Chain A
Amino acid sequence: MAWELLARRGDIPTFVLPPPSRIVSFTLGHWQSMLYHAAVTIRQALLGFLLSVSIGIFLGVVIVQSKFLEEALFPLLITSQVIPTIAIAPLLVLWLGFGSAPKIAVAFLISFFPIVINTVTGLKAVEADLLYLVRGLSATRWQELFKVRFPNALPYLFAGFRVSITLSLIGGVVGEFVSADQGLGFLILTGAGRLLTEQVFASIGLLGLAGIALFNLVRVLERLILPWEASENIG
């Protein structure tokens, strides 16, 4: 409301900050194209997220099961997070080509770390009594993993998923900033270049909606799989 009034008073030119009404009418006026581009970005983000889930959980398990691998892998993992993705992204385009692959790769790189950390934390945060119990019953390390640690870690995993799915959307957009001919990131960049500010804000708006939708998707899944935990979580 405040935005609409501010923009309409005429102080701010439309090509800097368009009033929401014009952004909405742009989106509705080009809804097929906007939806197409949104679908492209969301698809790339989701595929990156699925990669993050599988590889992230795998790495988390590996780190918990082997002290040696934990010490070997952690420095590499931290380094991968500290290097600015915007620097790696052009290299990914060179290696993976001009299609969806580099965007999915960037989405993965940005989003897998929280899943690793949360998997490790969750797997380790088992009550000591529970572990003594199953070891007393001669459980192997792997039985201990699957029957005790894993179920206990699920809430932590889902917390990681919630963070990760929003990051994967950012990753997909960053990938598009580097090289793309479609997607919301592409629209933001070309819109900015052509002074089509409504296009830029419409894309940002759709990005926000996509983020909320994906985040809620994870919450719904969590509610289905862990009904006793989900009610205690805020976000």
Chain B
Amino acid sequence: MRHGAWPHMGQIVLIVLVLTLVATACGQRGATRQQQEVTLYLDWAIDGLHAPFFVALKKGWFEEAGLKVDIQPGQGSSDAVKVVGSGKAQFGFADAATMTKGAAAGAPVKMVAVLVRRTPAVFICKKGSGITAIKDLAGKSIGDAPQTATATLLPAVLEANGSKMADIKFVAMTFPARVPAVLEGKVDCALGYAQEFVMIRDKVDFLPYYQFGINSYSSGIMVNTDFLKNNADAVRRFVQAALRGHEFVLQNAKEAAEIAASYSKEPQNNTAYFIGELEVMVPYYADDEVTKNGHGWMSDDRWKITQDLMRKYGGQEKELALTDLYTNEFLKK
């Protein structure tokens, strides 16, 4: 190498340093102008209950909030808790009780708004069965897939009404077999979530768990707590946009269902199904706490009930402080 033909070491280091500083500065300026990319992981394939998020996406409310939201379908609330806990998704939509169990097992998650305020768990019994209360279930056969949340809480709803598991006959079956089993009379009742049974509303009677003493919260927005530590403002903006979507859904079920269906890649148009789901969900979106404090708001009382249920019936071992499980701080504008 000829002397002077190439910059020597010191000069190279200086150039590299300057370039790095410039790049970082540019990068930071760029980031604040760009949208912050976040992922929302759902508890299932795109459903009517996810409409608030798709409305916020379609109407540009997330974009206004400086967020580029990628919405991913999931495989159950446990799956969502695992994925958000891993940090792969920053936000998730999952059941509060399932989230509580996951958090107690170490998942760094916290709920920042609850949308489905009561558990949608229901008994479905063939119309004309005459079963209108839990005591009517004595001696009856009840079918469900054994590992579901509804089966897990079955002893809870029985005991809340003076019954016990020994009073009924639990029939284990696969998830898709429940509805045929009830409609064909193979079991007296089956368990599931209210919105699953939209298509057979006219063929079955519903006994909602919440009307018989189970007062846990259900699905809401959860956030990875490590993400929350450094991005509190982004969390606030996300929650605000999502709540705006939620309020829109409550007023415009049909349009909301159409928007959600437009994002689904399933072959059939699910609009009618989603509208049905939203109709079924109406009582689950409202309660006294909402009337007093607005949507998304959560209370210590109901969270205590939720955690206690999981500790008594759900196999949760550790008890967490309620402040570790939820916060209302992002609900105010």
Q: How far is the CB of B132 from chain A (nearest CB, A)?
A: 25
Which of chain B's residues have a CB closer than 8 A to the CB of A30?
267-268
Query: Of B70, B86, B176, B196, which is within 8 A of A94 by CB?
Result: B86
Which listed residue (A13, A33, A196) contacts B184, Cβ 8 A?
A13
Residue of A nearest to B197 (CB): A195
Within 8 A of B (CB), among A1-51: 13, 15-16, 30, 33-34, 36-37
CB B4 to nearest CB in A, in angstroms, measures 48
> Is the CB–CB distance between A196 and B45 below 8 Å?
no
Task: Let me know if B176 and A181 touch, CB within 8 A.
Answer: no
Provided the pairs A181-B45, A181-B73 are in contact, do residues A187 and B179 lie with their beta carbons within 8 angstroms?
Answer: no
Judge whether B180 and A16 touch: CB under 8 Å: yes
Closest to A95 in B: B88
| A89 to B32 Cα, complex, angstroms | 36
Whether, in the assembled complex, B248 has its beta carbon less than 8 Å from a beta carbon of chain A, the answer is no
For the complex formed, measure the closest distance between the CB of A197 and the CB atoms of chain B, giving whole angstroms: 8
Assuming A13-B184, A190-B266, A195-B176, is B199 touching A98 (CB within 8 A)? no
Which residues from B are CB-within-8-Å of A169? Answer: none
CB-nearest residue of chain B to A97: B88
Decide if B180 touches A37 in the complex (CB within 8 Å).
no
**Contact with A187, one of B39, B70, B196, B266 (Cβ below 8 angstroms):** B266
Residue of B70, B75, B83, B179 near A15 (CB, 8 A) is B179
Q: Does B141 contact A (CB under 8 A)?
A: no
Complex: how many Å from CA A97 to CA B87? Answer: 11
| Interface presence of B210 (CB below 8 A) | no
Q: Is the CB of A187 within 8 A of B267?
A: yes
Complexed CA–CA distance, A37 and B264 (Å): 12
B284 contacts A by Cβ under 8 Å: no
Q: For residue A179, which residues in chain B have a CB less than 8 angstroms away from its CB?
A: 72-75, 79
The answer, yes or no, to whether A211 is at the interface (CB within 8 Å) is: no
Give 1 or 0 for each of A158-187: 1 = CB within 8 Å of chain B CB: 000000000000000000001111100011
What sequence of 0s and 1s flags, for each residue 47-90 of chain B, a beta carbon within 8 Å of any chain A beta carbon? 00000000000000000000000101111000100110010100
Q: Is the CB of B45 within 8 A of A190?
A: yes
CA distance A37 to B266 in the complex (A): 9
> B313 at interface (Cβ–Cβ under 8 A)?
no
Q: A13 to B183, Cβ gap below 8 A?
A: yes
Asked if B273 CB lies within 8 Å of chain A CBs, one says yes
CB distance from B40 to the nearest CB of A (A): 11
**Which interface residue of B46, B73, B267 has the most chain A CB atoms within 10 A?**
B267
Confirm or deny: A192 has a beta carbon within 8 angstroms of a beta carbon on chain B. Answer: yes
Residue B229, interface by CB 8 Å: no
Residue A205 lies at the interface, judged by CB distance under 8 Å to chain B: no
Question: Nearest A residue to B87 by beta-carbon distance?
Answer: A94
8 Å CB interface, B180-209 against A? 180, 183-184, 196, 199
What distance in Å separates the Cβ of A216 from its nearest Cβ neighbour in chain B?
26
Residues of chain A contacted by B180 (CB below 8 angstroms): 13, 15-16
Given A178-B75, A181-B45, A195–B267 Cβ distance below 8 Å? no
Main secondary structure of the interface of B (DSSP, over half): mixed
Quick check: A182 and B265 within 8 Å, CB to CB?
Answer: yes
Asked whether A199 is an interface residue with its Cβ less than 8 Å from the other chain, the reply is yes
A192 touches B176 (CB 8 A): yes
- Across the interface, do B199 and A195 meet the contact criterion of CB distance under 8 Å? yes
A15 CB contacts on chain B under 8 angstroms: 179-180
**Mask of B292-322 contacts with A, CB within 8 angstroms, 1/0:** 0000000000000000000000000000000
Complex Cα–Cα for A195 and B204 (A): 16
Q: How far is the CB of A54 from chain B (nearest CB, A)?
A: 28
B residues less than 8 Å from A193 (CB atoms)? 44-45, 175-176, 196
**Quick one: closest B residue to A177, CB to CB?**
B75
Is A194's CB within 8 Å of the partner chain B? Answer: yes
Give the chain B neighbours of A37 by CB distance below 8 A.
265, 267
Closest residue of chain B to A33 (Cβ to Cβ) is B267
Smallest distance from the beta carbon of B205 to chain A beta carbons, Å? Answer: 18
Cβ contacts under 8 Å, B88 to chain A: 93-94, 97-98
Complex Cα gap A52–B273 (Å): 41
Nearest CB to that of A40 among chain B residues?
Answer: B265
User: Within the complex, which residue of A98, A187, A195 is in contact with B72, where a contact is CB–CB below 8 Å?
Assistant: A98
Complex CA gap A187/B267 in Å reads: 8
Quick check: A94 and B83 within 8 Å, CB to CB? yes
Residues of A within 8 A of B39 (CB): 98
Cα A33 to Cα B196 with chains together (Å): 23
In the assembled complex, 13 residue pairs joining A and B whose CB atoms fall closer than 8 Å, in A order, are: A13-B180, A13-B183, A33-B266, A33-B267, A36-B265, A94-B88, A97-B88, A98-B70, A98-B72, A98-B88, A179-B73, A179-B75, A189-B45
Residues of chain B touching chain A, judged by Cβ–Cβ distance below 8 Å, are: 39, 44-46, 70, 72-75, 79, 82-83, 86, 88, 175-176, 179-180, 183-184, 196, 199, 265-268, 273
The 4 closest A-B pairs by CB, nearest first: A33-B267, A30-B267, A190-B45, A182-B265
Q: A94-B86, A192-B175 are in contact. List 11 more A-B contacts (CB 8 A).
A: A13-B180, A33-B265, A36-B265, A93-B83, A179-B73, A179-B79, A180-B73, A181-B45, A181-B72, A190-B266, A192-B176
A: which residues have CB within 8 A of B? 13, 15-16, 30, 33-34, 36-37, 90, 93-94, 97-98, 178-182, 186-187, 189-190, 192-197, 199
